[in-house]
Amino acid sequence: MEQWVTKEDVFAARERLEADHEGWERPVAFAVGRLRGGDLHFPWVNRPGALHALPAIVLARALGHVRGTATHDLPVDRLREAVEALSPAEACTEFDHPNLFAWRDLLVDLEDTDRFVAVFVADPADPAVDDHDVAFRRAIGG
């Protein structure tokens, strides 16, 4: 399995993935949330000014998201795909990898009725697109 050991490896991987995702525009914020029992919980959020760009493109590619503020249903198999695609970055000890660990934890603690949602915000001034987006913006303090 490929591993990205240095920061430079991680940045190069991100640049490759972004270049290969036609029309890609980085969001300013994003997260994966779990819907369980009517509650939406985001175990890790990427706030404006603190964006983790590699996980953003990995998640976007798994979902086919290209740009804009949007929410997406995130099937379990797509979340697993995103975890697998992001896993080579774990070899780089210069980063903490909070998205990878949060996504893995979601899969370990999986219940039959769980649903996942991905939220991307292109611009904080964009109106919220749905209730999931509203909950996400509350989680990032917006």
pLDDT in tens, 78-100: 999 999 999 999 999 999 999 99
pLDDT, position 49: 85
**How many domains in the chain?**
1
Q: 8-30, pLDDT tens digit by residue?
A: 999 999 999 999 999 999 999 99
Q: What CATH code is carried by the domain that includes residue 50?
A: 3.30.70.2010
Task: Compute the mean pLDDT over every residue in the chain, rounded to the nearest whole number.
Answer: 96
Domain for residue 128, yes or no? Answer: yes
Q: Who's near 119: CB < 8 A, 6+ residues apart?
A: 29, 30, 31, 33, 70, 71, 72, 132, 133, 136
Domain for residue 39, yes or no? Answer: yes
| Secondary structure in 3-state letters for 55-117 | HHHHHHHHHCCCCCCEEEECCHHHHHHHHHHHHHHHHCCCCCCHHHHHHHHHHHCCCCCCEEE
Domain for residue 2, yes or no? Answer: no
Higher-scoring residue by pLDDT: 119, 49: 119
For residues 117-141, average pLDDT: 96
Q: Please report, for residues 54, 66, 106, the alpha-carbon distance to residue 132 in angstroms, rounded to integers and kept in the order given.
A: 22, 19, 17
Domain that holds residue 47: 7-139
For residues 47-72, average pLDDT: 96
Domain for residue 51, yes or no? Answer: yes
